[in-house]
Amino acid sequence: MARRRSLLRLGLAAPIALSLTASLGLLPAPASATPRIPSAAQVEDPNSLAYVINTETDPHTIAAVQRAVTAAGGTVVVTYDRIGVIVAHSAAPGFGERLRAVRGVRSAGATRTAPLSAAGTTGDGAVRYLSEAGAARIEQASGAGTEPLEADQWDLRTIGADKAAEVNAGSRDVTVAVIDTGVDDTHPDLAANFSPAQSASCVSGKADTGYGSWRPASPDHFHGTHVAGTIAAARNGVGVAGVAPGVRVSGITVSQPTPRQLIYAESVVCAFVFAADHGVQITNNSYYVDPWQYNCLDDPDQKAVVDAVDRAQLYAQRQGTLNVAGAGNSNHDLDSAAVTDRRSPNDSTPTNRTIDPHTCRQLPAQLPGVVTVSATSAKNTKSYYSSYGLGVIDVAAPGGDMYQAADTPSKEGGILSTLPNNQYGYQQGTSMATPHVSGVAALLKSAHPRATPAQLRAMLKAQADNPGCPATPYDGNGDGVVDATCAGGERVNGFYGFGIVNALRAVE
């Protein structure tokens, strides 16, 4: 199967034969998207790298480390003094090593292996667009009181979100920030629920709140818009519905405005801090931090990345923000002794390495307090691509599965949602499962406005439905080979954690 860049954004774009395009009502991507002005990093030298330097948080130490950055041949881009994280650029050899020797520095390292000027050439993959003819067939099957394309949203019915909307569609006081590739806020299903005041671009590592900074750089940067629709597409008689159609959604752009759409640590640090400081209750994180699929603590650069991102997401939690993240699309057992990482570093030349997922962490999914999500199919089974692991997965949600057809007009096993330029289309991945959980969390926060992130995590687990481990060996793609082993019991297990989230139970 042709996969998107490094399973980037934790969403898979399933291939489709050209001979099937007409019958499934699929169209190629439109030629243009609503423009935005990307934030440009302040590059002092074309060979510069970006660094995160993690320090003690007292002002004197931070000031001394800032001076040390300059003395070592670097430039301070931004300082997050409340968490002791400095973002810097430098082309000086040995810059990270020099900073690690500075008093008060806990860790320091490069966030990438390629220079800031590297644009990359790998595309983000294809998305399956819904044509007018395909939409018409779906609309004919949609019942009264539903959105025009809701008949194809098997995912909403699976978790009771259609019925939940009749009880409580969510509060306007709750905002879910989509930390991703940008959100097209002009989409008719998103415009009414979008919050510009809680949106920004964090691409450079420093928040840019200029108007439109949150929008995708091109139609190929569709991922964030798709995620946003699953969370909060309005019930307005247009297109699709979201899990929590009454809440607000914001966009924080973190992907580079290049074909590879890489997401680096400094952008994610910025996003968590921005969300926390702007009253966001929930962040949706359908990605892993590039260029390493797993960041290992015995590597000084990767350790610094773990430290910086963890400081930022913990700060968000302390400010009352719940962080939800996808487990990944590699079908890895994250509770095993070893997995093979074939994708890192994805900004230069990947090499195969065997890592221990207990000490090498996918970010932000494997950080403390983050709700980690696995993906399920239209048949309520683990999606063939979804990573898993007992004690790692908290809950599961519909993410789609090309091998499991849905009982819908299109028979499509993917997730139907919004796309830039007023389009709709299907994707599958833990990227698509994560916004279902974020939507249910938003409903829980709407019903329990004083709930803390820890309490929301507990509620998500308590209201979930666990199908238990499969009775027969798991063969996700049907090729006769066992693809994964589910550990645990009916209450909690490696495939589903505490179970598949239930939106109706969240509001009852």
What ranges in 25-160 are assigned the alpha helix state H? 59-71, 95-100, 132-141, 154-158
Does one domain contain both 87 and 182?
Answer: no
Pairing of strands 175-180, 282-285: parallel
CATH of the domain at 85: 3.30.70.80
- In the chain, the number of structural domains is 2
Are 326 and 286 spatial neighbours (Cβ–Cβ below 8 Å)?
yes
pTM score of the predicted model:
0.92
Give the C-alpha separation, 366 to 116, whole Å.
Answer: 27
Does one domain contain both 84 and 220?
Answer: no
Domain membership of residue 23 (yes or no) is no
Does one domain contain both 55 and 178?
Answer: no
Structural domain boundaries enclosing 79: 49-110
Give the C-alpha separation, 252 to 240, whole Å.
Answer: 22
Are 343 and 294 spatial neighbours (Cβ–Cβ below 8 Å)?
no
Residue 486 neighbours by CB under 8 Å, 6+ apart: 382, 388, 469, 470, 474, 493, 494, 495
Pairing of strands 282-285, 26-27: unpaired
Q: What is the pLDDT along the chain (508 residues), one digit of tens a residue?
A: 333 333 345 666 543 222 222 222 333 333 333 333 333 334 468 899 999 999 999 999 999 999 999 999 999 999 999 999 999 999 999 999 999 999 999 999 999 999 997 754 333 445 889 988 889 999 999 888 899 999 999 999 999 999 999 999 999 999 999 999 999 999 999 999 999 999 999 999 999 999 999 999 999 999 999 999 999 999 999 999 999 999 999 999 999 998 889 999 999 999 999 999 999 999 999 999 999 999 999 999 999 999 999 999 999 999 999 999 999 999 999 999 999 999 999 999 999 999 999 999 999 999 999 999 999 999 999 999 999 999 999 999 999 999 999 999 999 999 999 999 999 999 999 999 999 999 999 999 999 999 999 999 999 999 999 999 999 999 999 999 999 999 999 999 999 999 999 999 999 9
Does one domain contain both 103 and 208?
Answer: no
Rounded-to-5 percentages of helix, strand, coil across the chain: 25, 20, 50
Helix (H, G, I), strand (E, B) or coil at 319: coil
Does one domain contain both 106 and 245?
Answer: no
Are 130 and 426 spatial neighbours (Cβ–Cβ below 8 Å)?
yes
Does one domain contain both 467 and 329?
Answer: yes
Q: Which of 110, 137, 162 is the C-terminal boundary of a domain? A: 110
Backbone angles phi, psi at 242, to 5 degrees: -95, 170
Does one domain contain both 176 and 56?
Answer: no
What ranges in 79-200 are assigned the alpha helix state H? 95-100, 132-141, 154-158, 161-167
Domain membership of residue 117 (yes or no) is no
Burial degree of 279 (CB within 10 A; 0-12, 13-18, 19+): middle
Does one domain contain both 346 and 420?
Answer: yes
CATH of the domain at 244: 3.40.50.200
- CA 495 to chain centroid: 19
In SS3 terms, 225-237 reads as HHHHHHHHCCCCC
Does one domain contain both 192 and 275?
Answer: yes
Give the C-alpha separation, 461 to 498, whole Å.
Answer: 5
Does one domain contain both 95 and 128?
Answer: no
Does one domain contain both 59 and 135?
Answer: no
Structure tokens at 220: 């190929």
Does one domain contain both 334 and 480?
Answer: yes
Burial degree of 468 (CB within 10 A; 0-12, 13-18, 19+): middle
Domain membership of residue 187 (yes or no) is yes
